[in-house]
């Protein structure tokens, strides 16, 4: 039996016995839920993060992500299934190393693989025979094989022979209790059968099923396809919102009626723009890569243009509503943006359209504050530097009444929208949440 076959057999046997150690690099919104899923499946997890404070919190049984409670972390720590560290020299310990690091865009809307490359180089310096390395970060087709593999092989070890290499796209939906990490099928792709078999067995320890594809590039394309699908359909309803509003038609009413059709239609909902680390970014990874093959992704680029224009549309609607209600206009108005996170009931503000709304309001001379029970203060981030450190106002109906308008950007469940609509002079609602809450709509404008 060859060394590769022997290593594959040994790994598969130890995975079956749950005797492997899983290392996860990046203990954020993707890596931490993944660690909890593996730990809950009975595998020991060693979580890596460059932020020592995160490692300290996890080792103390504490969560730093609001929609993830302390209890599950503490339980896994007590049982010995979870440990965290900032010491990258310990990367030789895990049998499997999973990469969950950011893949942002540059200012020129091109892929920024700096985190993937630096993480891969960090792994390469400690890589040993018999380990499997799996990228989970969303990226363009070809990254695993063309970018990571040469780095990992530079000291003589070969993928598929000495170590194993695969791609499995994250499918995390933060704050969604119905589809936790452990309940979502896992796509797995690798360029050799051994790597694919090991990756399938590894994820099979906690997911309901794995879906194997023929290559890492195919798996990378799966993730891009999922996010392009959402981006394009959201762009469609955002455009319909604008068109129907000009006709005096409520797009939310139209969507509710349309979704009664049991076939051939899937509801998507408009909003103030796209947020999160996937949908606003990932389609442009494919757009960039397609140029290498002299292909033009006009449909995707048009969707991106429509979605990126939504914050400007919302501010224009707010300005019109202010003119109509008070003849005050935006300049020198006091505006409260309600909701800073990119989606409801979580504290994740990555690419949140609320950040863009705050910038646009200030550019047009408004005094803009925000309220978000999940985001008490704006954290460090790469963009929107002027907003870093700004604090959420305290929830107070008297304070809300002092603003010229409240602009609802995120529809958190715990906000009292009935009271908000009663207290505010004007409400501009981008989520149709006031109508759903049964609030008085006499001062509400949809945008």
In terms of Cα–Cα distance, which of 403, 317, 323 is closest to 366?
403
The answer to whether 267 and 208 are in contact (CB under 8 A) is no
Q: Are 318 and 329 in contact (CB under 8 A)?
A: no
DSSP conformation letters of 92-124: GS-SEEEE-----B-TTS-B--HHHHHHHHHHH
369 vs 121, 188, 316, 361, CA distance in Å?
42, 44, 18, 10
Rounded CA gap, 245 and 266, in Å? 21
- Contacts of range 203-209, beta carbons closer than 8 Å, 24 or more positions apart: 203/168, 205/15, 205/18, 205/38, 205/41, 205/42, 205/43, 206/37, 206/38, 206/40, 206/41, 206/43, 206/181, 206/182, 207/37, 207/182, 207/183, 208/183, 208/184, 209/185
Q: What gap in Å lies between CA 162 and CA 423, rounded to an integer?
A: 66
Give the sign of the dihedral formed by CA 277, CA 281, CA 285, CA 290: positive
CA torsion through residues 36, 39, 43, 49, sign: positive
Residue 152 tokens read as 């990992």
Q: CA–CA separation, 131 vs 147, rounded Å?
A: 18
Structure tokens at 304: 């991106």
Choice among 278, 327, 421, 434 that is catalytic: 278
Sole residue written with tokens 């549309």 = 313
Is residue 327 flagged as an active site residue?
no
- Tell me the torsion sign for CA atoms 85, 32, 210, 42: positive
Cα separation, 297 vs 287, whole angstroms: 6
* Active-site annotation, residues: 278
């Amino acid at each position: 039996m060859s060394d590769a076959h022997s290593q594959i057999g040994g790994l598969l046997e130890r995975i079956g016995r749950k005797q492997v150690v899983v290392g996860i690099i990046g203990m954020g919104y993707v890596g931490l839920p993944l660690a909890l899923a593996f730990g809950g499946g009975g595998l020991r997890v060693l979580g890596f993060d460059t932020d020592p404070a995160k490692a300290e919190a996890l080792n103390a049984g504490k969560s730093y992500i609001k929609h993830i409670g302390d209890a599950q972390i503490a339980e896994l720590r007590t049982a010995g299934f979870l440990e965290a560290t900032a010491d990258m020299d310990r990367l030789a310990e895990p049998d499997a190393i999973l990469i969950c690091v950011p893949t942002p865009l540059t200012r020129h809307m091109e892929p920024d693989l700096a985190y993937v490359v630096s993480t891969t180089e960090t792994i390469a310096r400690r890589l040993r025979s018999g380990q499997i390395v799996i990228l989970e970060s969303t990226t363009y087709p070809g990254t695993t094989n063309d970018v990571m593999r040469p780095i990992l092989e530079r000291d003589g070890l070969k993928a598929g022979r000495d170590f194993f290499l695969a791609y499995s796209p994250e499918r995390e939906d933060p704050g969604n209790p119905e589809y936790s990490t452990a309940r979502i099928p896992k796509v797995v792709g690798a360029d050799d059968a051994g790597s694919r078999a090991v990756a399938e067995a590894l994820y099979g320890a906690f997911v309901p099923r794995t879906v194997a594809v023929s290559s890492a590039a195919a798996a990378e394309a799966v993730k891009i396809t999922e996010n392009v699908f959402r981006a394009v359909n959201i762009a469609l309803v955002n455009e319909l919102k604008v068109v129907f509003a000009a006709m005096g038609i409520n797009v939310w009413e139209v969507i509710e009626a349309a979704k009664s059709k049991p076939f051939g239609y899937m509801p998507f909902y408009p909003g103030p723009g796209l947020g999160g680390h996937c949908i606003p970014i990932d389609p442009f990874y494919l757009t960039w890569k397609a140029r290498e093959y002299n292909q033009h992704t006009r449909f995707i680029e048009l969707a991106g243009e429509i979605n990126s224009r939504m914050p400007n549309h919302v501010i224009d609607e707010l300005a019109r509503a202010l003119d109509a209600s008070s003849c005050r206009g935006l300049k020198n108005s006091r505006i409260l943006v309600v909701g800073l996170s990119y989606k409801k009931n979580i504290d994740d503000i990555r690419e949140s359209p609320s950040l863009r709304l705050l910038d646009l309001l200030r550019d047009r001379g408004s005094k803009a504050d925000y309220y978000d029970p999940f985001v008490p203060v704006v954290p460090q981030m790469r963009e929107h530097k002027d907003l870093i450190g700004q604090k959420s106002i305290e929830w107070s109906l008297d304070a809300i009444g002092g603003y010229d308008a409240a602009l609802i950007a995120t529809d958190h469940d715990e906000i009292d929208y009935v009271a908000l609509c009663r207290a505010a002079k004007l409400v501009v609602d981008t989520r149709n949440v006031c109508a759903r809450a049964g609030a008085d709509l006499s001062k509400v404008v949809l945008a």
